[in-house]
Amino acid sequence: MLPVQRRARVIEILRKEEIVSLRDLASAVPTSLSSLRRDIDYLEDAGFLEKTRGGVILKHDQMARVEPEPDLAAAIESDAKAEIGKRAAQLIQSGQNVIFDSGSTTLATARIAASRGLPFHAITNDIRIAAVLSTNSRITVEVSGGRLRPGSSTLLGPDALRTFMRLRADLAFIGAHAVDDTCFSDSSVELADLKGEIIRAAKFKVLVADYTKFGQRSLCSIGEVGSLNRIVTDRRLDSVLTDHYRSLGIEIDIADEPVQ
């Protein structure tokens, strides 16, 4: 197991158990004790957890405020993201204009979309997503302008904003760092502004997010939850939130359940 996979596993365990002893972590994560200690030190330095006497505790508020580095973000709940991507990609129809927002779950959606063989026009502000989509010659891939966000494959800035301000797309897949009962939000003003333009540009707006993103609020609001047409997520989404979103007229698509 790679270090990023171990660190993702530590976070997943802490989300379920809240406080976990070092002994229990060592039993659940296949690595040496010394490597596990280094992983814990790394996550503590990043602000995601706190060491206690004999164990560790997840800092939920910090997880909502700070976005993990891209490789770690992709590794956290990777199976759920793959299932969400598989379900979301089925929404694409031949010949559509489709926006792919940056993010690990939108990347999972792009991987499945590229494998389907449908011809469509894709626009994205993520060069990693663009590279994945371009493996299918039937997909026309357009990349926004902008500058690369440090340490990621996301394009931001005025040129990226102008790209999406001019667009009128059939469908958009949108990621978010946090979602509560009224709004969805992200960790920076630039990201939130860009995602807001993506939402305005698309006729049908689909949020792709695993259950860990819900019940939280990050720094900058992207928009009202009610502006979404559909949420594709996994079965661990809180049932109260599920019912609330449906009451707003949002379609809730549970990726790891059979299609009705």
- Per residue in 153-178, pLDDT tens? 999 999 999 999 999 999 999 999 89
The side-by-side arrangement of strands in the sheet containing 120-124 is: 139-143, 120-124, 97-100, 169-174, 202-208, 230-233, 251-254
What average pLDDT score do residues 213-227 get?
91
Residue 197, SS3 per DSSP:
helix
Q: Lowest mean pLDDT: which of 28-32, 176-180, 224-228?
A: 28-32
Residue 258: pLDDT band by 50, 70, 90 thresholds? low
pLDDT at 176 (0 to 100): 92
C-beta of residue 207 within 8 angstroms of C-beta of residue 103: no
Residue 248 amino acid letter:
L
Q: Which fold has domain 73-254?
A: Rossmann fold (3.40.50)
Q: Which of 153, 87, 89 is nearest to 124 (CA)?
A: 153
Residue 129: pLDDT band by 50, 70, 90 thresholds? very high
The residue with tokens 């031949």 is 94
C-beta of residue 194 within 8 angstroms of C-beta of residue 227: no
C-beta of residue 192 within 8 angstroms of C-beta of residue 221: yes
> Which residues lie closer than 8 Å to 153 by C-beta, 6 or more apart?
70, 102, 126, 127, 128, 129
pLDDT at 62 (0 to 100): 66
Residue 59: pLDDT band by 50, 70, 90 thresholds? confident
Residue 23: pLDDT band by 50, 70, 90 thresholds? confident
Q: Which of 191, 117, 207 is nearest to 157 (CA)?
A: 191
Q: Lowest mean pLDDT: which of 44-53, 170-179, 236-245?
A: 44-53
Mean pLDDT over each residue of the chain, to the nearest integer: 91
CB atoms within 10 A of CB 111: 18
- Report the alpha-carbon distance of residue 210 to residue 188 in Å, rounded: 20
What average pLDDT score do residues 13-20 get?
84
Q: Does domain 3-58 have CATH number 1.10.10.10?
A: yes
What average pLDDT score do residues 3-22 get?
87
What counts of helices (H) and strands (E) characterise the chain? Answer: 11, 15
The residue with tokens 């005025």 is 158
CB atoms within 10 A of CB 231: 28
| CATH 1.10.10.10, the chain: domain bounds | 3-58
Q: Which of 91, 117, 224 is nearest to 169 (CA)?
A: 91
C-beta of residue 26 within 8 angstroms of C-beta of residue 36: yes
State yes or no: pLDDT of 260 exceeds 60: no
What average pLDDT score do residues 38-52 get?
89
> Which residues lie closer than 8 Å to 123 by C-beta, 6 or more apart?
97, 98, 99, 100, 142, 143, 144, 163, 164, 167, 169
Residue 257: pLDDT band by 50, 70, 90 thresholds? low
- Report the alpha-carbon distance of residue 233 to residue 85 in Å, rounded: 9
| CATH 3.40.50.1360, the chain: domain bounds | 73-254
Q: What percent of the chain has pLDDT over 70?
A: 96
C-beta of residue 77 within 8 angstroms of C-beta of residue 212: yes
Q: Lowest mean pLDDT: which of 54-63, 100-109, 161-170?
A: 54-63
| Dmax (CA) of the chain | 58
Q: What percent of the chain has pLDDT over 90?
A: 66
More confident call, 96 vs 37? 96
